[in-house]
Structure 1
Amino acid sequence: MKSFIFSAIAVSLLVITVSCSCTKAKQTAPFKPISEKPGAPPKTWKEHWFEHDKTVNLVYYDDNVAFYYDGGVDKSVVWPFKTMSNVWSYVKKNYGAFGDSSRLYVIFHQNSYGGGHPASYFDASHDYRNTLDAGLGNWTSPTGEQIGMPVHEIGHIVCGASNGVQGAPSDAIWGDSKFMEIFNYDVYMNIGMQEEAAKVYKQMEDKDPYEDYPGRRYPGVRWFINWFYPIYDKYGKGELLNKYFKVIAANYPKKGKVFTRDRDMNLGEFVHFWSGAAGVSLKDQAKFAFGEYWTPAVEAEFAQAQVDFPNVKY
C-alpha cells in the first residue's frame, strides 16, 4: 500500500502554467489576532512533516476551512479564503464527509517550501486533519497554478479517504495526476469558475499524451479527452465521480477501514468499477481510450472482474 502523503513534486502536472514571481515577498506587519469562538481552530500550528518545521498562523476560518500562512505570505492576499471555502463546501456536498471535522486545513507558504501535498483525517503525520500544504512564489490571483495546485491536492484527499476508507487503489491505473484533471474541471464548474474550467479543457486538448508524470501508465492515452470527459459528460458529471468512489468503497478488498490487497488493481477491473458507477458497460469507450493497451489479456481481466465483483451492476 502506497503512502497517502504524496510528493510535493507531483502537483505541477495538472495545473496551468503561469508566471510566478520569485522575488522575496514584501514583509508586512504581524498577523492580527483572530477572535476566539467555541470550536475555533488553533491560532498557530507547528509543522512537523517532511522538511517542514515552521510555525504557521491562523489568518482566517469559517465552517469549511481554516487558513494558515507562514511569515513569508503577503497578508494582503485574501482571495483564497472564500474561494477554497467554496471548493471544500462543494467537495463535501458531492463526496460526503471526510472524518468528524467539517473543516479543511489549508497552509500556504511563499518563497520557502515549494510544491504541495495533501493529508487526510486518517494521517497522524498531520494531526488527523484534512490538510493541504502548498507553496509558491506568490499567491496574487485565483487562476492557473495558484488555484489549480490547492484544488489538485484536495483531489488526492478525495481519492485516498472517501467513504470512510483509507487508500487509493486506483492510483495504480491513473498514476498521480490523471484523475485530478477531471476533478479540477468539475470543481471549477461547480464554484462559478467556468473560465478556469475552460482553460483546463483547452490545456487537456493541447496536452502531450506522452508526458511523464509520477506513476505514469499507458503512455499516449489521452485520459481527459478520450476517457474521463466523455463519461463525465454523459453519465452524471460530478455525481459520476462520486459514484465511482462509492463503488470502490463498497466492493474493493479492504481490511477494516483500509484498502488491502496483495496486488494492484488491473485495467479490466478499473473499467468494471467505472461501468458500475455509470450504470452501463464502458468497455467500448475503454477500447477507444486505451487503444493498444486494450489487449485480449485486458479483455479477460474485464470479464474476470465481473465474476470477482458481482455486486457491481450495469
Structure 2
Amino acid sequence: MKKTIAKTLIYTLIPCFIGGFVSKSTAQGNSQSTIPKSTMPPDSIWKEHWFEHQEELKLVGSNQHVAVFYDKNMSQKVKWPIAVMADCWSYVKRNYGDFGADPKLYVILHRSTGKDYAGGHPSPFFDASHDYRNVIDCGLTHWDSPTGEQIGMPVHEMGHIVTSASHGTKGSPSDVLWGDSKFMEIFNYDVLLNIGMTEEAQKVFTQMQTQYDDFPRSGTQWFKNWFFPIYSKYGEGKVLNNYFLLLAQNFPKRRDGRYSRNLNFGEFIHFWSGASGVNLQEVAEKAFGWPPEYDLQFKQAQKDFPRLPYKIGSATR
C-alpha cells in the first residue's frame, strides 16, 4: 500500500503505506524461517534505505521485545516508547504468535518537521527492503506521551504486520474488503485494553460510534456493527486471532505461503463465522446489507471450505 493522505480521525485511522508485502510469519511457534534467530544486540546505528528515507538512526533502547531507533530530530529524553512499544508487541505475540525468528519489533520514530517522513508504514520480517526485520516506521511532529495518535499510529502499523504475516502466511487477502484501517480499529482497541491503557481504548470506542464509511455500502459502521459485536461476544482477542488462523489453515496459498487470491464478501463472512463458532449472516446483514451476490458467495464458501467450526444452518444476531 502506498503512502496515503493523512486522515482526520484522531488516531486509529492514520496515514500509512505498505511497500509490497513479502512477509512470512512463524506465528504460534510454527517456525518456517531460514533466517537465524537474532541473539546479538541491535546495532547502535542503522542507516535507512527504503522509499525516500535516508536518515541515520540511533538506537535509544532495546529489550527482549523491541529495539527503538530515533532520527536526528527526536529528543533523546523521550523514553516512553521503549517500555510501551514492548508492552504492545509482547501482547501481539501472545495473542497472534511469533513473527519470524527474531522476537524483536524494530520501532523507528521520526520527528516530522513538515512533509518529511510524516505518517507511518510497516515492514514484515520477510521483506528484504527493511533488512528482514519486523519494522514500524512512524513520523509525527511530537512524541511527548503515549496518547492519541502517538500511541495509535505505532499500534496501527503493528496491526498491518499481523494481517500480512501471521501463521506462516504472506499477504492480506482481506485488504480488498476492509481497506487500510477497518481491522485496525478493533486491533488498536484490543491492544490498548490489554496493555492497561483503558482510557485510550475508550477513546477508540467512543470515536467509532460516529465513524461511518462508504464501503461496502454508504453509512457502514465497521467497528460498531461488525467487529465489536463479534469481539465482545466471541472471545475478544482470541476471536481476532482465530480468523487469521483459519485463513492460514484453509484459504488457498502458493508454495511460499503467499495467499493466491483475495477473499470475496461471502468468504469473509464464512471465515469470521468459523472464527466465532456461529453463523454470522444476520450480523453481516445489519452491518453490510445482504445483496444476492453476498448470499450466493456465502453459500458457495460454505461448500468450498466445509471444515470451519460453526453450524451452517443457524444464523445468529
Q: Does structure 2 retain, via aligned residues, the 8 Å contact 1:248–1:273?
A: yes
1:180 aligned to which of 177, 184, 190: 184
1:121 aligned to which of 120, 125, 139: 125
Classify 1:8/1:116 alpha carbon distance in 2 versus 1 (closer, same or farther; 3 Å).
farther
TM-superposed deviation, 1:203 = 0.4
Instruction: Look up the SS of the partner of 1:52 in the other structure.
Output: coil
Match for 2:137: what amino acid? D
Match of 2:138 in 1: 134
Gaps of 5+ in 2: 15-37, 311-317
Q: Does structure 2 retain, via aligned residues, the 8 Å contact 1:70–1:108?
A: yes
- Aligned equivalents of 1:119 and 1:38: distance in 2? 21
- Aligned equivalents of 1:248 and 1:103: distance in 2? 25
Equivalence map 1:190-205=2 (5 Å): 190-205=194-209
Match of 2:43 in 1: 42
Classify 1:15/1:172 alpha carbon distance in 2 versus 1 (closer, same or farther; 3 Å).
same
- Aligned equivalents of 2:58 and 2:119: distance in 1? 19
Match of 2:171 in 1: 167
TM-superposed deviation, 1:67 = 0.3
Query: TM-score, with normalisation over the residues of structure 1?
Result: 0.86
Q: Does structure 1 retain, via aligned residues, the 8 Å contact 2:216–2:288?
A: no
Equivalence map 1:7-46=2 (5 Å): 7=3, 9=5, 15=11, 39-46=40-47
Classify 1:190/1:232 alpha carbon distance in 2 versus 1 (closer, same or farther; 3 Å).
same
Match of 2:244 in 1: 245
TM-superposed deviation, 1:220 = 1.8
1:70 aligns with 2:74: no
Match of 1:260 in 2: 259
Match of 2:233 in 1: 234
Match of 2:301 in 1: 305
Equivalence map 1:287-306=2 (5 Å): 287-291=285-289, 294-306=290-302
Percent pairwise identity = 54
- Aligned equivalents of 1:149 and 1:51: distance in 2? 19
Match of 2:277 in 1: 279
Match for 1:51: what amino acid? E
Match for 2:164: what amino acid? G
- Aligned equivalents of 2:5 and 2:194: distance in 1? 27
Deviations 1:53-92 (A, max 9, x none): 1110111000000000000001111111100000000000
Deviations 1:190-220 (A, max 9, x none): 000000000000000122334xxxxx54332
Q: Does structure 2 retain, via aligned residues, the 8 Å contact 1:95–1:162?
A: yes
Equivalence map 1:91-130=2 (5 Å): 91-111=92-112, 112-130=116-134
Deviations 1:110-165 (A, max 9, x none): 02310000000110110110000000001001111100000000000000000011
Match of 1:34 in 2: none
Match of 2:54 in 1: 53
Instruction: Look up the SS of the partner of 1:49 in the other structure.
Output: coil
1:269 aligns with 2:267: yes
The CA RMSD measured in Å over matched residues stands at: 1.9
Deviations 1:215-260 (A, max 9, x none): x543321000000000100000000000000011111110123333
Instruction: Look up the SS of the partner of 1:164 in the other structure.
Output: coil
Q: Does structure 1 retain, via aligned residues, the 8 Å contact 2:13–2:185?
A: no
Q: Does structure 2 retain, via aligned residues, the 8 Å contact 1:209–1:222?
A: yes
Instruction: Look up the SS of the partner of 1:254 in the other structure.
Output: coil
Q: Does structure 1 retain, via aligned residues, the 8 Å contact 2:12–2:185?
A: no
TM-superposed deviation, 1:11 = 7.4
TM-superposed deviation, 1:12 = 6.7
Match of 1:221 in 2: 220
Query: TM-score, with normalisation over the residues of structure 2?
Result: 0.85
